[in-house]
Structure 1
């Protein structure tokens, strides 16, 4: 077993506003059932922004990032399904693999999961500061680092033809959008759909809706630029959000959409969602809001019209099943995922990437590490 190695990572300490510092840390060798991955690409996701903007609480100091793709570099004892040199996508929701939910095909509903608390399955971390204090990988991944250690079942082997930047997004934004359509809403060909929010997850939902044969597909955002991006990946119509949104959607869909997705995590737009539906329609909450907020919905509208509210946790993904499916759809040309990446940056530019996200200037930034080509 190799010793700890020094890595460079984007760390949030909570004492410098919303700024991350790129600094050296120590990463222990993989233990039983774990693998070390040389990260080649890491997505810059809104969930990370919730943390560094003080809206979600996590153990500190935190190694940020949870969308990762890379190459297996070392394996611990007991690892049999992976080998050094394998290309992998990392799953951040690291379910226990043993409970009734996991064995019943719903790992996203696992109640024993520890990765939400930035812990590996044994409740610990493999990270340390140079001073010897524990550091915690966000969602048990810590993707914004040149190397990470994760459980072997969280590293899903992927076809080597998938570029690392695209593969990293399959691990969260693309996988979540695909899963929301296929697993949660179970969209069938010919159904009408509305997607509120044309960021990275929203565009992933639109791409999956096109793959599923939904029609029409209406994108909603606050800028024409974002709506143009949505049309490029599959939206048939684009609407600017506002007070008349429900009437506009009804006119496009002959009375309301069959299914509507909220991909922002804003209370106001989440409350609008049921009003965009026809009777019997499904509202899918995909975006994640800050902690502690409550929704106000018209209960009579939901009951009388038979509308359904669906919560989407990680798109209901089964990573070992769904990641390869998404990768295959990309390789066949059915999912044009390259269009979702607006910029590729170095690790040292991570704060600039988050600032651009706050300004709504980018669809998805991806941090690219050495060896990604």
Structure 2
């Protein structure tokens, strides 16, 4: 089968090959035919080494498809089911799962770094995030294949798998944004747009989108922002919207030290700074002890939107059906697997107004 392979971390793009095969599903695993996969900036970060990944491996972690085969102990899925991939499948038994934090479950995540999902030219290979969605087929734990109704388009299902759960979940689960509040969102890519939609769902009165790419501002307003500005204008807008007090919530979706610090500075005393962006270990943010004590701002890292994929995937589908989440409008471009390197390059272009690109498998 065909798949986009990373041969070496930090060494160029992906090699689209046809000598790739999945491993045989184990008792608790399923084999899925991928029908759509989102191109996420985390894939770029993993390829560069900023995020953990193994090579050789198949990239892609935001995907949806159709179940082809189930393991001997799998009872909740059957061939023909339509599923969304989750890169953090909850085991349901560990301390995190039992304590109400299934997004922090490590069981399947750790296994993904020691268990090959593919064979490439006879060599064992791994799937990024335990998935490998830039492939025609994948083998994943059954807990990482979340069933959705048959009428949910694969493209919509794929978006939910990472970007939408991460962004909307950061608002509803991590920050718990309150109706009537003020929210600043720093970074208006695919996840940032989902954050804006989440803030609108939560009933925030003022939602300020912050992005240096002016071309993104119109889209940000379409998806929920009441105002949009560049980083240079954030301080002025803070004064206009909050009287200089600061936002109730500032949600950072970039993963850079400067933007995390900017989110902190934009937040009022006692407000919440939510860090969604995926940054590398070199992104060090400095705070002094006095400002932390005096301001009592809550710093809330948000991994995977603090979601339970088994619960929140269905919630996102219901919100989409009700017209409360615009997922169709988030798709900026559709590409084939052979165009994946073009898609990754477009994601990194200065001034790009892309929200989400979808790899389609026909």
Bucket of the pairwise TM-score, normalised by the shorter protein: over 0.9
Can you give the 5+ residue segments of structure 2 that lack an aligned partner in the other structure?
A: none
The match for 1:28 is: 23
The match for 1:139 is: 129
2:35 to 29, 34, 40: 40
Structure 2: distance between partners of 1:160 and 1:324: 13
The match for 1:103 is: 98
Q: Given the alignment of the two structures, is residue 171 of structure 1 paired with residue 171 of structure 2, yes or no?
A: no
Q: Deviations over 1:250-309 (max 9, x none)?
A: 321232110010001111101111111111100000001123431112442332121100
The residue correspondences of 1:54-69 to structure 2 (distance < 5 A) are 54-69=49-64
Q: What's the secondary structure of 1:78's corresponding residue?
A: coil
The match for 1:249 is: 238
The match for 2:171 is: 181
The match for 2:149 is: 159
Residue 116 to residue 223, structure 1, CA distance change in 2 (3 Å): farther
Q: Deviations over 1:11-30 (max 9, x none)?
A: 11127832101112121221
2:115 to 124, 130, 134: 124
Q: What's the secondary structure of 1:171's corresponding residue?
A: helix
Q: Deviations over 1:134-174 (max 9, x none)?
A: 10000110000010011111111112222111110111011
Q: Given the alignment of the two structures, is residue 18 of structure 1 paired with residue 9 of structure 2, yes or no?
A: no
Q: Is the 8 A contact 1:259 1:283 kept in 2?
A: yes
Q: Given the alignment of the two structures, is residue 368 of structure 1 paired with residue 360 of structure 2, yes or no?
A: yes
The match for 1:88 is: 83
Q: Is the 8 A contact 2:10 2:47 kept in 1?
A: no
1:309 to 299, 312, 331: 299
Q: Name the TM-score, length of structure 2 as normaliser.
A: 0.95
Using the TM superposition, give the Cα deviation of residue 114 of structure 1 relative to its aligned residue in structure 2, in angstroms.
4.3
Q: Deviations over 1:161-212 (max 9, x none)?
A: 2211111011101100011001100012111100000000000000111111
Q: Name the TM-score, length of structure 1 as normaliser.
A: 0.92
Q: What's the secondary structure of 1:85's corresponding residue?
A: coil
Structure 2: distance between partners of 1:15 and 1:307: 37
Calculate the aligned-residue CA RMSD, in Å. Answer: 1.5
Q: Is the 8 A contact 2:91 2:143 kept in 1?
A: no
Deviates more, 1:246-255 or 1:161-170: 246-255
Q: Deviations over 1:312-370 (max 9, x none)?
A: 01010100000000011001101011111110100000000111110152211110111
Residue 88 to residue 307, structure 1, CA distance change in 2 (3 Å): same
List, as ranges, runs of 4+ consecutive aligned residues in structure 1 with deviation greater than 3 Å: 116-119
Residue 117 to residue 99, structure 1, CA distance change in 2 (3 Å): closer
Structure 2: distance between partners of 1:76 and 1:117: 17
The residue correspondences of 1:183-202 to structure 2 (distance < 5 A) are 183-202=173-192
Residue 269 to residue 75, structure 1, CA distance change in 2 (3 Å): same
The residue correspondences of 1:193-272 to structure 2 (distance < 5 A) are 193-242=183-232, 245-254=234-243, 255-272=245-262
Structure 2: distance between partners of 1:228 and 1:299: 39
Structure 1: distance between partners of 2:152 and 2:356: 17
The match for 1:3 is: none
Can you give the 5+ residue segments of structure 1 that lack an aligned partner in the other structure?
A: 1-6
Q: What's the secondary structure of 2:107's corresponding residue?
A: coil
The match for 1:285 is: 275
